[in-house]
Homo-oligomer: A and B are copies of this chain.
Amino acid sequence: MVISETRPDIESPIRSKSGNSKLLSISWWFKPLLVNRLGSQKHLYSSTWCALALNGFKINYSKYHHNAMSLSAIAKPILYSYWRSSCSWRVRIAMNLKEIPYDIKPISLIKSGGEQHCNEYREVNPMEQVPALQIDGHTLIESVAIMHYLEETRPQRPLLPQDVHKRAKVREIVEIICSGIQPLQNLIVLIHVGEEKKKEWAQHWITRGFRAVEKALSTSAGKYCVGDEISMADCCLVPQVFNARRFHVDLRPYPIILRIDRELESNPAFRAAHPSNQPDCPPELPNK
């Protein structure tokens, strides 16, 4: 994974190291190469004629180009992320597990009252929250929707089991966390609840949710949340355990949750996605 704090502007000319730019005009004869790069024909079907830049060639769109195919389809995905956001974290884990290279564009949820509320970012994500993912020429929002998209377009290292009942179990645990816990202890909700009450509030909802997660895991867990393969449920569980610790939730009643969290601690994909390894993590934080 390569992390960059700057978003490459894919619509501006890209120059080779020598400073020269070259124009590469291509037509349908170029399709097989693109298909090979993209791993799928889905993004190409309605493109008629275009010019593409790869590795230093100048970018030039034809007037005939329309948006089903764009250069962003072959650009490295950009993840709008905040180091401590558990929803961004889920997607970072999924991207890492599937070994999809991506750049990070940090959006501070704190600075200037929250960069997620500025007009420019509202165009990216009308919910004014992270994550958002620019990939294959599209901007996707909502972490579980993004994980499903990655699963459907990049089937390598699956995040859902083959068995339909195990898939339901994965999605059940995902939904308990992503609908039943995290939205209630989200930063924007805690601001609304107020400084004085926010710790008790967060503890209350995390505790209620973790009771249900622990019960679900008692019949589904193997090495991980559902059996012995890492799934979307694990991508959601680990960031939620981190949040529970932030709010000093007593985790002793949840031995299965704690065991799985420990199991995943040393996994390279999870470690690279951890808040403390993000480019926007403040260096001075003691428990970053």
Contacts and interface: CB of A to CB of B under 8 A. Distances in A.
Interface of A: 42, 126-128, 136, 138, 140-146, 148-149, 152-153, 164-165, 167-168, 171-172, 174-176, 178-180, 182-184, 189, 192, 204, 208-209, 211-212, 215-216
Nearest to A68: B165
A183 B172 contact: no
Nearest to A136: B165
A204 B189 CA distance: 11
Contacts of A165: 136, 138
A144 B174 CA distance: 10
A153 B164 contact: yes
The oligomer's copy count stands at 2
Nearest to A193: B193
A175 B138 CA distance: 18
A176 B216 contact: no
Contact of A179 (B167, B179, B215): B179
A93 B125 CA distance: 28
Given A127-B208, A148-B168, 18 more contacts: A126-B212, A126-B215, A127-B176, A127-B180, A128-B212, A140-B168, A142-B172, A144-B171, A145-B168, A145-B174, A146-B168, A149-B168, A152-B164, A175-B178, A179-B183, A183-B183, A183-B184, A192-B204
Contacts of A149: 164, 167-168, 171
Contacts of A183: 179-180, 183-184
Contact of A184 (B142, B167, B178, B189): B189
B148 A171 contact: yes
